[in-house]
Structure 1
């Protein structure tokens, strides 16, 4: 009996900690995405559907209405553009509402920029509404943004893993074991919403979205 209980407990723990692949196509078709300030669409690339948010002024969100997330790993492929100040792509988490959340995003146009200072601004953490990128850069230079390792091309699909704990977040690019960004979260507000995120005047594309919840 003890052995059976141990096996059942192991299976339960394994199930709870395993990655959950989120079909953005099914979420879109089932109206399980709450869209904020964007027009969503599905782009078919062969047999692989790609979720897209269009470009327009202001930030944009696609909240996953049927998901809650506190700690664990957020994994996805994302694609931006090599257009300066028009490509900010990532995810929002710890979400409470449309203006109160944390986000981690890429600036693909800075991946291979000629200026060294721009390359150090390729991945960014923010905590809204109080701590957007500008005050963070001014008060804490090179703390909440960094270069990415390895360095992709600006128009490549980029795989992102974000490991979120109760107090911090660590970002890995293209399955690297070297962290591109490691930060202490500025808020422990208890928000559980998660979204795809784009910045001002930015569009973005996502695929292979997974959540591994602790």
Structure 2
């Protein structure tokens, strides 16, 4: 084949490839700006471990979910939520005998996989809101990212960060609104302009997925008037590289601190050195998962004897990183870092 023929052939291949790519993009379904589900029947639901019934509860038509398992889901058909808002009216009625403690558990999952193997979720525990035990009151609303970050792990590792108090009335309707932008989410209740819970650093590894209703055993969960508003996704990607030298700032309830981390990653394992506040040349150990990191190192607290353990958790996005950091028994706050060029 002549050089001219080869060039013409190559150009033709490029044009065909571009045309195919454009055709593929044109065939990809685009998400509607909003989706509304009245939830007066079960036609828009795919059930997983639950029974769904159309009922009227406290003056409005709704879907009632119950389960014979520990918990279950009702997936909203044709939802693929990335960023935006999810709003719904929900209520919980427990089915336990008098005197048996059962706060109730009803929630909305998002960015969920079809088999519910992974999902983010906010849920309510209305009974805890009326408790005379302040610790229980502080467990009224909860964020989880299953299966890796359930309520117990988050509560033990990061107390008071992923749950909080909210004024809820058991068996009454609560308007629930979830706002999601990238790795940041906020939960609003009963049309309040202020969030009841803020999660700055969602734990899930999926940036998009389905929306699902969630219920628990020994109760009835009611859902009505659900609306999804899809917005342009934040330009973030998973897989951020942790290796390198990082300048770190730590803003805590005990003050502001700085340091430098030099990190090396091999597969999911991270090792390195911390220097700065809490001591020089402190060994760092941790794990990496698709851009999410958990790091620990030991050091000394300023002007006090003894050893303290610092823990950082968060996401790497290109040449920046941020998340939560605690120094055991001393401080809690947020960290941010910039990679040195």
**Structure 1: 5+ residue runs without aligned partners?**
1-15
Query: 1:201 & 1:191 partners in 2: Cα distance?
Result: 31
TM-superposed deviation, 1:182: 0.3
Q: Deviations over 1:85-121 (max 9, x none)?
A: 3611010111113221111100011111111111100
**Contact 1:25–1:49 (Cα < 8 Å) also in 2:** yes
Output one character per residue of 1:166-186: Cα deviation in whole Å (capped at 9) or x when no partner. 111100110111210001201
Stretch deviating more after TM superposition (183-192 or 102-111):
183-192
Q: Does 1:101 align with 2:119?
A: yes
Hey, what does 2:251 align to over in structure 1?
Answer: none
Partners of 1:68 and 1:57 in 2: CA distance:
26
| SS state at 1:99 partner | coil
Structure 2 CA distance, aligned partners of 1:133 and 1:48? 31
Q: Using CA pairs below 8 Å that are at least 6 residues apart, which structure has the higher relative contact order?
A: 1
1:36-51 alignment runs, 5 A limit: 36-45=48-57, 48-51=60-63
1:173 aligned partner: 189
Higher strand proportion (structure 1 or 2) = 2
Taking a change above 3 Å as real, the CA distance of residues 47 and 178 of structure 1, as seen in their structure-2 partners, is closer
Structure (1 or 2) with the larger CA radius of gyration: 2
The question of whether the paired residues in 2 share the 8 Å contact of 1:137 and 1:144 is answered with: yes
Mind listing any 5+ residue stretches in structure 2 that lack a counterpart?
A: 1-31, 232-341
The structure with more helix, counted as a fraction of residues:
1
- What is the number of equivalent residue pairs in this alignment? 194
Matched, 1:63 2:55: no
For 2:143 and 2:57, how far apart are their aligned partners in 1? 30
Distance 2:103 2:58 in 1: 27
SS at 2:93 equivalent: coil
- 1:209 maps to 226
Q: Distance in 2 between matches of 1:172 and 1:45?
A: 22
Q: 1: distance between equivalents of 2:35 and 2:210?
A: 16
2:85 matched to which residue of 1? 73
Q: Describe the shift of the 1:55–1:86 C-alpha distance in structure 2 as closer, same or farther (beyond 3 A).
A: farther
Query: Structure 1 residues 53-62 or 41-50, which shifts more?
Result: 41-50
* SS at structure 1 position matched to 2:120: strand
Q: Which residue of 1 aligns with 2:269?
A: none
1:124 partnered with 2:139: no
Higher mean displacement: 44-53 or 97-106: 44-53
Distance in 1 separating the partners of 2:57 and 2:127 = 23
In the superposition, the TM-score normalised over structure 1's length comes to: 0.83
CA distance, structure 1, for counterparts of residue 103 and residue 169 of structure 2: 16
